[in-house]
Amino acid sequence: MKILIVSDIHGNFHALDAVMKKVPHHVLICCGDLVVDYPYPHECIRTVKSVCTHICRGNNDDVVAQNKKSSDYLSERYANYAAAIDRATELTQRAIRDEDRQYLAGLPRECRFTMNGISFYMNHTGPGLVLNHYLDLNVPASELHRHYENIRANVMVTGHTHIPYIKHVKNRILVNPGSVGEPRDGDPRASYATFDTVNGRIALGRLAYDTTETLRRLDALSYPNYSRYCLENGVLPENPEDR
């Protein structure tokens, strides 16, 4: 069985759709953040709801489901993004439907499941951590061991950083597929991971896709400039209003 692992869709339906159509897989799992930053939140929720076998809640899913302000939960590194991300969140709130909000509200904080005898643990951040905590690419091995020492799973999945990586925590695998909808590692192509339960092979992947319609709609709906900038450059600007 080949599992397609995605995270951090952020309302970018065309990225999600391209990966689902072009990357061979049997099942799809998602590590959260379906919404905010791009203009197709309803389409992303509808798609994931219909095809995803396992999914957990991301920080933006939580904010939208509970009608909160994103700026109240920003980490210090993004303090200057407060007004811009609140605008993106408000636009998302307008675009989704009541059933979309109910779906986001019902997403679990973490998931445990088994496929073909392989046990999985999935959390948008890490066990017991707040939803906006970052387990960065350079997080020390000792910290990872501390967070995951009590997790009994062969494969552990995390997201939130928008930067992909594969790490080993003792004899287990920790995979972050990066962001399918909003990569922030300097490569704007959609990011994902695949896991083959037959041979145990896990791999990170990238896929280019057409952003023309997304860019047009961002402009038409007056999304904050950082959304366009990141879509084109694969990294957030220092100033959220840079274009």
What CATH number corresponds to the domain at position 148? 3.60.21.10
103-161 pLDDT tens trace: 999 999 999 999 999 999 999 999 999 988 889 889 998 999 999 999 999 999 999 99
Domain assignment present for 240: no
Strand arrangement, sheet containing 165-169: 110-115, 118-123, 155-157, 172-176, 165-169
Domain assignment present for 142: yes
> What is the average per-residue pLDDT within 12-34?
98
Domain assignment present for 238: no
Helix (H, G, I), strand (E, B) or coil at 67: coil
| Residue 108 confidence (pLDDT) | 98
For residue 50, pLDDT beyond 90? yes
Domain assignment present for 243: no
| Residue 191 confidence (pLDDT) | 98
Domain assignment present for 135: yes
| Residue 122 confidence (pLDDT) | 98
Helix (H) or strand (E) holding 207: strand 202-207
Residues 194, 161, 230, 189, Cα dihedral to 10°: -10
Domain assignment present for 241: no
156-192 pLDDT tens trace: 999 999 999 999 998 899 999 999 999 999 999 999 9
For residue 220, what are the contacts with CB-CB under 8 A and spacing of at least 6?
A: none
> What is the average per-residue pLDDT within 34-54?
98
Q: Print the domain residue range for 91.
A: 2-233
Cα separation, 29 vs 48, whole angstroms: 9
The two three-digit tokens of residue 44, written as one number: 């992303």
Burial class (CB in 10 A: 0-12, 13-18, 19+), 66: exposed
Percent of the chain at pLDDT > 70 equals 100
Number of domains composing the chain: 1
Domain assignment present for 148: yes
Question: Which CA distances in Å does 169 have to 47, 114, 136, 230?
Answer: 32, 19, 14, 31
The mean of the pLDDT values for the chain is 95
Strand arrangement, sheet containing 2-6: 52-55, 27-30, 2-6, 190-196, 202-207
Percent of the chain at pLDDT > 90 equals 87
Domain assignment present for 123: yes
